[in-house]
Each structure stands twice: as structure tokens, then as C-alpha cells.
Chain A
């Protein structure tokens, strides 16, 4: 029943969908496998740029880096427990939680305790460390920490736009906003009961609350940051995924992902992807689905097949 938890990860690229599973990394284009190469045993995340994809294995401390053109792959050791990664330009950055480092090739930057999320905004990297409640801004040239902000510990998610960082705090039931330019707290807002995951949906925020079994969103034309800047919020309105806004999810969704104005919700206790209040796939790994321009793709680890659907939510 929980075999899906750490079985596969996918990423959408301009050349097709990269699927990493069972020591294998593959490029899928429509229903065809373009190439297949050796990968890592327990892929938890795949990231990609225009030239390469990288699949990380947090259990064995490995990364498989693959050329998208021909599938040529190298497998390298990482620091202890790589749990997040991203490409910035041609450079791959890997966040190693248990060695408390951010890694670029052989270079590393030491981080605060329990670093959990790696994000990028305007060419600058940001790492949030849960235990110490620290947001660190890291430059790439030179590769070093620039500024550190102490905020509340134990956030469960972090997303950035050009100006702000948004962090969810499940126990406190709130969203905290940080002004990235000033590297200072900007404000905070109670959101539902247990906000766990946040996504930027065009100019809005979508916040998954598994306790309320809802995704909370900010309605209206104002961005969240603008609303906060004016000292008021027009309110956070709980939305079911039905257009009539009356339905609740049958289970508590705790992840929400977005691409442009489209978004989908996910329940990691059952591995269910939801759209419009209804499940479109079950027993899917937490990183084994992604939004494309046309819809959503996910990896079926039982049938070893990539599925597609054009069914996504737009706001």
C-alpha cells in the first residue's frame, strides 16, 4: 500500500518527461521511450535544465546526472542525505540535509541544522533550515552565504516568487512571508487549520490543508504580497476543487503543485492526485507526477507506465 512513497520521480523537460525509477532513468516522449540509462536505486526527486537531468537518492547518497540528448549518465556521490536540488543555469545544486551542506560539484557551503528546502529567485539561492528556523541567502559567484534571517523554525514548505518567500507552519496554522530584497519578515497570516504545502498559482497562492481537507486560495486580482503590504487581506477562502466550491476532498490533500495558472492537489497518505474534487490517479509517488503545458503526467510504478491527463484545475 505504501510502496509508492519512494519509488519514482519525474520531471518535465522540453525534450519530454524524465522518469527515474528502480536504478533506471528514462526519457519518455509521448508513449515512446527515447532512451534509458542506469540510474539510482531510490530516486526521490528529478530536476532538469535544457541540457541535463539529475535524479537524487537520499538513502544511498547518490545522484545520476544525465545528458538529455543521448542519455549518457554519470552517477556520483553526494553529501549525506540529498533531499532537494535544482539547476541554476548549467550548474546543479544539491541540498544535503544530514551533512548540512549545499553542494555544487565538489564545492560546498555549510548550512544551519536540518536544511530542508532549496529554492531560487532571481538567480540567487535560498535555503530554509527547519531546526534552527533560518533562511539563508546564498550567492553563486562566489558560492557563499550572503545573508541569514532567523525566523520561526519547523516550516513544512517554502516557495518563492521574485520578491517574497512564503513558508507554511502546520502546527501554528499560519503562513509567514519574508521580503527577499530586505531579507526581513514581512508578515504572517493564519491559514486554515494545518497548512502544509504552498504553491504559487499565477498571481495567487494555493495552500494545502489536510486537516480541513481543502486547498486555500487567495481570491481576487490582488497578489498576496500586495494585500499584506496594504495591511489587510481580503481573506483566505477555502475552495473545494469543484467549481461550485461546495465539495470537500474525500481525504486530506497535503501537497499542491502549480504551473502557470494550473494546479493539482495530492494526498500523500494514499498517493492520490486530485483534480476537481475527484481523484485522477492513485498510489502515485509524491514526486512521481508533474504538470505539463497540456495537463498532468504521472508514473504508474505497478504497471511501469507513464500516464497523461489533460484534466487540471485553472484559476
Chain B
């Protein structure tokens, strides 16, 4: 039974190491029982999520849900009602990870009809409700789990879950301190020896076995406590707690990101980006407070991402080519363009439709906006028929350049007779983007050459 060992991921991200993904893929290939398959799918989904591989992550959660759904029907057919309750609870958790709060709640309600005496089921209920933002329900379910816990490790897992639902409160802090203290107490000495003997270090959200549960719980409890100290402005305690995490695992990405936030040192950011270059939280933090203008050295993935974040559009596009399904990279690219005439060193240009299309979604930097205000562009445009004008004048308001919609701020009369839906050479400036069209200031219209 793995229910007891499910840890809330709430508001914490952790890099999915290649090693852990590989371990879960091995588990999928070698262990075909329900719980092995299910925990592998859930862990892979969570690991992919920390890397912002969101499509892959959702695919894993969907597979976990399919597995659990199949298992609940089979368990009922076999009259195995404990297994039915477990499978139903996990189906609910998978639905919560997929963002379907209503189905998650319904499934977990069904699970508690059969297993209201089971702390693990309430713990899953709590985790699922937290994931879908139903914090009060999550707190209540976690309190039930704590009340029903029947061993010390499980009790501390449920305390951690409860603390996760309570936000930045004194009760939450007390619970986390207690969890950490108890895990470090002599009561767990033999488990710690076993972990040391096996050199175990892996951290999973759905941990199987006491050793993995112990390591994962200690890691998560310390990270949550450190984050709480950090939010309160207690940098000393926060740093000490993050560092305690790094003593057990020196590439822990959430701890490294926390230390970088506290120090604002490029060196610390470099380490954090090495641990998880795809953390959106880290990326946004780095974008908000770029430490300095020093050149980023090295060719590691973390260095490439930092270079992209410092405005190197070519680095951003190279990353996109290499990681096309990564949403973190996609978000970086969305803030960069490879439009040469936005670099500020030209006064006139002939834009391609692709360059114009990019402007529809691109957020301009201050430098790019200045360049855009200065540059005069020329392109072949085709206009929609508009109101008739006097002889020797043509009025247009909307049209396209390639497949990019353009519009003027008002119907505009051009001297000369021009046919609609025919390529015409337009000289213009870009004023902005509205809805799905570029807002254009026309300077000159002439027959296409």
C-alpha cells in the first residue's frame, strides 16, 4: 500500500532528475502490479511537471487515472473492497492532478464510504483537495488522517500534509518542526542506518517503502519550513534550513533556488539553474531580479537558459529547437524574438509575415519598443473592400500581410485607385497589436512591384 506515503507537492517544485525518471521507467518496465505501475505513473507525472513538460506530465496522470479506474472495476468484480477503496482514492488523486476537482471529490467521497477508518485514504483526500484549491476540505481530511494514524512514520506524513494545508501559520510551523525533530530522533535511527547503508537518496512524491518515504518526507518538510521562514523575512533561519536540505542532497533544486533568492548571487543562481533549468519559479525570479550584467560563462544547459533570459534571442531559439515540448522554454521564447529590425540598428526594413506574426504575441522590451517606434517598414499587403470614395481615391481599413491581419485606426483614404484583395505595396509603422491584428499607421500605398 503506497497511500500512506503520498506527499503533498503543494506549491513546491523539485527538479526531476534524469536518474529518478529513469528509475520510474525501469519500475514501469519491470513491475507489473497495480501499485508499482500506479506509483510510477504518478511520480513520472510529478517529475515531468517540475521540468515544465506539462503535456508529458498530463499524459502520465491520465495513464494513472486509467489504471486506477480499471483496477476499481476489477476489484469490485473480485469482491475485494479494500482494493476498490484504494483504487478509487487513487483515481481521485489522479483526477485532482488533472485539475478536475469535481470528479476528484466524488471519487474520494466514494472511497471514504468504504474506508472512512483508513488514514491513508484521508491523506489522499487531503492531498487531492489541496491540489484543486479546496484548502478547508484538505485541512479537515488531513486532521482525520492524523487522528487515525497507526505508526510514527505515517503520522508524520499526515502531519506534513496537514501543515501543507495550513499556509504560513504558527500551527503549520509547529507541525513541520515536530516532523523534522521526530524524523531525526532515535526512533528512526535504524531506518537512517539502512538508508546510509544503501546510499539511498531519491525523492518521490509517491514513495514506496519506508526508506523512500523517510527521505522524501524529511526533504519536503525542511523545504516547506525554509520557505515559510523566507516568506517571513527570516533569512538566517531560511538559509540554515535550505542548507540542511543540501547536506542530504547537494543538487536539491528547490533548496538551491531558495539560497539564490536569498543571496542574489549569480553563482548561486548558476547552481540553481544547473539543478533545474526548467523551473518556472526560478526563471521568473531570475527575470525579475537579474543579478548583474556579467557575461554568462559556460555551455551547460543552465548557462544556456540564463543567457536566453538575459536577452540572447538566438540562445532562446536554440533551446526551443532542442526542447520543443517544454513549456518553460516556450515561455522564455515568447519574450524573445529573432527580428533583426527590432535590435535598434536600422531605420527601414522589409518584414516577413512570420516576423509580423511574432509581434502579435511578443512582449516588447523597452529597447525593442524604441526600435519599433523608429523603424519604417515596407511589405506587400492585400486590403478588404471598404466604403467607396470619390474618384481618384480609395478607402481601406483592414487587410492582411501574408496571413497576418492588419488594420488602421480608422478608414483611411489613399490617393489613386486601388483594387481590394490585390497585392499592394504598403509603407507603414506598427502602432501595436489589438486582438489578433496588428494596428498599422500607413505612410504610403502604391502598386506592387
Contacts and interface: CB of A to CB of B under 8 A. Distances in A.
Interface residues of A, number: 41
B79 A213 contact: yes
B114 A156 contact: yes
Contacts of A151: none
Nearest to A6: B106
Nearest to B141: A98
Contact of A194 (B81, B106, B116): B81
A212 B69 CA distance: 21
B404 to A, nearest CB: 39
B73 A270 contact: yes
A154 B112 CA distance: 10
* Chain B interface helix/strand/loop/mixed: helix
A58 B140 contact: no
Contacts, number: 92
B134 interface: yes
B418 interface: no
A80 B137 contact: yes
A97 B129 CA distance: 14
Interface residues of B, number: 31
Interface in A188-214: 193-194, 196, 210-213
B211 interface: no
Contacts of A5: 103, 106-107, 110
B113 interface: yes
B79 A211 contact: yes
A3 interface: yes
A241 B73 CA distance: 21
A39 interface: no
B267 interface: no
Interface in B102-154: 102-103, 105-107, 109-110, 113-114, 116-117, 134, 136-137, 139-141, 143-144, 147-148
Contacts of A238: none
B380 to A, nearest CB: 50
B6 interface: no
A131 B147 contact: yes
A59 B79 contact: no
A11 interface: no
Contacts of B76: 210, 251-252, 267, 269-270
Contacts of B134: 59
A98 B140 contact: yes
A211 B76 CA distance: 8
A1 B140 contact: no
Interface string A125-162: 00000110000000000000000000001101000000
* Top 4 A-B residue pairs of the complex, sorted by shortest distance between their CB atoms: A6-B106, A98-B140, A5-B106, A154-B117
Given A213-B79, A254-B113, 6 more contacts: A2-B69, A5-B103, A6-B105, A97-B140, A131-B147, A154-B116
